[in-house]
Chains A and B, each alone.
Chain A
Amino acid sequence: MMPRLRALLRLVSLQASYTYERMQGIGIAVAEEPLLEPLAATPERARAARGRSAQYFNAHPFLAGAAVGALAKAERDGEPGERILRLRTALSGPLGALGDQLFWAGIVPAVMGVALIAVAAGFGLGPVAGAVIGYNALRVLVTWWGLRIGLAHGLKVAHAISESRLPSLAARAGSIGAVIVGAAVPWVAAWLLRGTGQSLRATVLVVAGAFLLGALTLRRPLSAPALTLGAALLTLLWRWSAA
């Protein structure tokens, strides 16, 4: 199998060996390994490259391919070790911030928001399947693109990414996600509360109360699961005492 394809497959399980010490470091080493095969003829270089490849690294998992490609190219080009380690450190933050903004704060809420609206509107399982297929196609495509751009540009990969459409897409993704999540709120509330017998009143109270509480606790976020479990416990005590 092509080394590039093997690296892509290994990137799919990048975080399997995640630790709080080296974060994705070992996963990066595993994904980089097939791309370092040309160094096998010079065992000392290969050993040094392997040693460097497992150091601390943390970025967004879908964009880590760009780092894997760039680091492998730098090793193959015979760049000095300190320079390669500096590249590793330099890529970690920006690739993390870009991916978090694009995927975790934008695409994931948007995709799940659309699926929630469609389910609430009565479209059943189809939108859920569509969301999974579309998202995974995009996920693989972005990882593959990252790997390619990294291998093509090596040490200059950060510049190549900044020249691409990704930063502007990431900036817009959050706003799109916010609109879709906002639109999902009344749909899902009306749908989930319709079985309680007081759909309209409950929907208005729940959404308005949640918005108010969310706005009031913006600086000191609440743990919603803990709040819910506490409120449920009080509800049970109230029902038990009224029985």
Chain B
Amino acid sequence: MRQLPVLALLLWGTVAGLDLASVLQGLLSRPLVCGSVAGVIIGDPAAGLSIGAALELFALDVLPVGATRYPDYGAATVAAVALGAGQPWGAALGPAVLLGLILAQIGGWSIVAQRRVTAWALRHAAPALDRGDPGVAVRLHLLGLATDLVRSVGLAALGLAAVAVASRGPRFDMSTGHALTVVTVAGGFVALISGALRRAGTVRRIGWLAGGMALGVLGLAAL
């Protein structure tokens, strides 16, 4: 297995985990952004961009509205890039994205668990909070931040451990790798297009989406 800059990847995975909901929400947890930076850290920006783009197709289906439960693609993308970097990407993309999808689901469950911990602390502090005792809200807030930090570090570490295990296992042959790449990219487009159709809601917006696709095809043909 290649020597990975584990500490830098762990740190970046943690930053991405915090960005998802707790701090900023400034696109750092988006797979395309997260994958690009992970690719630069590992020294294979092209792999970071392609794996990040493939996972971004799935992330564009997510609408984090209200109490919706959603996957965490940040640390999952870091692990996916760590697995796929330095390999022929037509074959490596599929397996890397599959690892990312599994880790993203685990990440989604970890968010629910972390929020339950905050809710448990809230139930204990509720009388003091409702009385308006000074400092209670800030303490609860810092606890939420700390538990999300622990969650993010844990998820990033789990991802890198999964990469270490997967890298020692048997490799797929080239044609299986290609088949998995087609399957995962197709899955990504199902996510992207069905999400866009659902979000569009109206016939008029579906028309905009179809118009955009036609424009994209024309642009591609022009090159």
Decide whether A and B are members of one complex: yes
In the assembled complex, A3 has its CB within 8 A of some CB on chain B = no
Q: How many residues of B contact A (CB 8 A)?
A: 103
Task: Decide yes or no: A239 and B179 within 8 Å by CB, A104-B65, A109-B196 being known contacts.
Answer: yes
Query: In the complex the two chains form, what is the Cα distance from A33 to B141 in whole Å?
Result: 12
Query: How far in angstroms is the closest Cβ of chain A from B191?
Result: 3
Residues 93-114 of B at the A interface (beta carbon under 8 Å): 93-94, 97-98, 101-102, 104-105
A192 touches B145 (CB 8 A): no
Q: Which of A33, A104, A125, A135 contacts B49 (CB 8 A)?
A: A125
Task: Decide yes or no: A53 and B137 within 8 Å by CB, A17-B143, A17-B144, A232-B94 being known contacts.
Answer: yes
In the assembled complex, A206 has its CB within 8 A of some CB on chain B = yes
**In terms of DSSP, what is the predominant structure of the interface of chain A?**
helix
In the assembled complex, A48 has its CB within 8 A of some CB on chain B = yes
Which of B131, B208, B216, B223 has the most CB atoms of chain A within a 10 A radius of its CB? Answer: B216
B50 touches A192 (CB 8 A): yes
Contacts of B93 in A (CB 8 A): 192, 195
In the assembled complex, A231 has its CB within 8 A of some CB on chain B = yes
Residues 177-214 of B at the A interface (beta carbon under 8 Å): 178-200, 204-206, 208-214
Contacts of A189 in B (CB 8 A): 185, 189
Contacts of A210 in B (CB 8 A): 186, 189-190, 192-194
Task: Decide yes or no: A182 and B33 within 8 Å by CB, A30-B141, A46-B132, A228-B187 being known contacts.
Answer: no
**In terms of DSSP, what is the predominant structure of the interface of chain B?**
helix
In the assembled complex, B167 has its CB within 8 A of some CB on chain A = no
Contacts of B161 in A (CB 8 A): none
In the assembled complex, A50 has its CB within 8 A of some CB on chain B = yes
Q: Which of B88, B132, B140 contacts A47 (CB 8 A)?
A: B132
A225 touches B185 (CB 8 A): no
In the assembled complex, A105 has its CB within 8 A of some CB on chain B = yes
Contacts of B197 in A (CB 8 A): 214-215, 218
In the assembled complex, A209 has its CB within 8 A of some CB on chain B = yes
Contacts of A50 in B (CB 8 A): 132-134, 137
In the assembled complex, A66 has its CB within 8 A of some CB on chain B = no
Query: In the complex the two chains form, what is the Cα distance from A9 to B160 in whole Å?
Result: 32
Residues 189-217 of A at the B interface (beta carbon under 8 Å): 189-197, 202, 206-207, 209-211, 213-215, 217
Contacts of B7 in A (CB 8 A): none
B185 touches A16 (CB 8 A): no
In the assembled complex, A23 has its CB within 8 A of some CB on chain B = yes
Query: Nearest A residue to B40 by beta-carbon distance?
Result: A125
Query: How far in angstroms is the closest Cβ of chain A from B189?
Result: 4
Instruction: Give 8 nearest A-B pairs by CB, closest first.
Output: A182-B212, A195-B90, A228-B187, A224-B191, A214-B194, A17-B144, A51-B132, A50-B132
Could you list 25 examples of A-B contacts with CB < 8 Å? A16-B144, A16-B148, A17-B141, A19-B115, A19-B122, A26-B122, A49-B132, A50-B134, A55-B130, A62-B25, A112-B27, A112-B30, A113-B60, A116-B53, A136-B26, A183-B215, A191-B50, A192-B50, A195-B93, A209-B186, A213-B194, A215-B197, A228-B190, A229-B101, A235-B179
Starting from the known contacts A135-B26, A182-B212, 10 additional A-B residue pairs (CB-CB under 8 Å) come to A21-B119, A48-B132, A50-B132, A104-B64, A113-B60, A179-B211, A195-B88, A206-B186, A210-B189, A235-B183
- Residue ranges of A at the interface with B (Cβ–Cβ < 8 Å): 12-13, 15-23, 26-27, 29-30, 33, 46-55, 58, 61-62, 96, 100, 104-105, 108-109, 111-113, 115-117, 119-121, 124-125, 128, 131-132, 135-136, 139, 174-175, 177-197, 202, 206-207, 209-211, 213-215, 217-218, 221-222, 224-225, 227-229, 231-232, 235-236, 239
